[in-house]
């Protein structure tokens, strides 16, 4: 076992020990932390397996040529619209968006389109936007989307250009 792995395991064991100590001592915050962790873990166990199955199917069924055509270098401004639509229809939050973004990257999507996809996944998912429109009003929601999405796209393009200028490369374990 590597030193890094031993250090991570030791840190996790230390945190667990501290949590158990405070829980046994009757600490209310420790009880709340445990309940929140259990709720989140159950949510993750319900959401992630179907999502990973869908991502696997996406990897198999969607051809690289299709992704490159619609989200790649020569795709134009429509790629940002496609990324936003894909992100808005997604369920599960950002922890689901990152594996999809990885898959898109491996299939040839532009880096700025991937950044836009991740930004849109945090900003304009349909369930979240629907709740926001109900509680805050449609006018507020439309203004927020009309301000935030262009900013996400602009920042995505700037980030891509900066990373290209500096010669940044992504070293992914599951790369082609």
What values do phi and psi take at 175, rounded to 5? -65, 165
Whole-structure pTM value: 0.76
| Three-class SS state of 119 | helix
What values do phi and psi take at 91, rounded to 5? -110, 155
Task: Kindly indicate the confidence band of residue 173, based on its pLDDT and cuts at 50, 70 and 90.
Answer: low
Q: Mean per-residue pLDDT for 114-143?
A: 93
Per the prediction, the chain carries an average pLDDT of: 87
Shortest CA distance to 125 belongs to which of 85, 152, 70? 85
Give tens-digit pLDDT for 99-108.
889 889 989 9
125-142 per-residue burial string, b: 16 or more CB within 10 A, e: under 16: beebbeebbeeeeeeebe
Q: Mean per-residue pLDDT for 135-140?
A: 95
Q: Looking at per-residue confidence, does 97 or 143 come out higher?
A: 143
What distance in Å separates the CA atoms of residue 22 and residue 156, rounded to the nearest whole number?
Answer: 44
Q: Mean per-residue pLDDT for 80-84?
A: 95
- The H helix count followed by the E strand count for the chain is 8, 0
Q: Which residue has the tokens 């532009």?
A: 110
């Amino acid at each position: 076992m590597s030193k890094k792995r031993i250090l991570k395991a030791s840190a996790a064991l230390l945190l667990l020990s501290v949590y158990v100590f405070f829980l046994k001592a009757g600490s209310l915050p420790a009880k709340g932390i445990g309940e929140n962790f259990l709720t989140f873990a159950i949510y993750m166990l319900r959401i992630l397996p179907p999502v990973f199955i869908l991502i696997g199917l996406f990897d198999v069924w969607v051809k690289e040529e299709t992704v490159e055509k619609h989200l790649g270098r020569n795709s134009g401004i429509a790629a940002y619209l496609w990324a936003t639509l894909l992100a808005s229809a997604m369920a599960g939050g950002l922890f689901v968006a990152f594996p999809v973004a990885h898959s898109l990257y491996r299939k040839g999507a532009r880096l700025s389109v991937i950044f836009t996809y991740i930004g849109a996944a945090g900003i304009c998912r349909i369930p979240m936007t629907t709740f926001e429109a109900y509680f805050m009003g449609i006018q507020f929601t439309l203004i927020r989307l009309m301000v935030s999405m262009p900013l996400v796209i602009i920042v995505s393009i700037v980030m891509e250009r900066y990373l290209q200028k500096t010669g940044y490369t992504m070293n992914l374990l599951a790369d082609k």
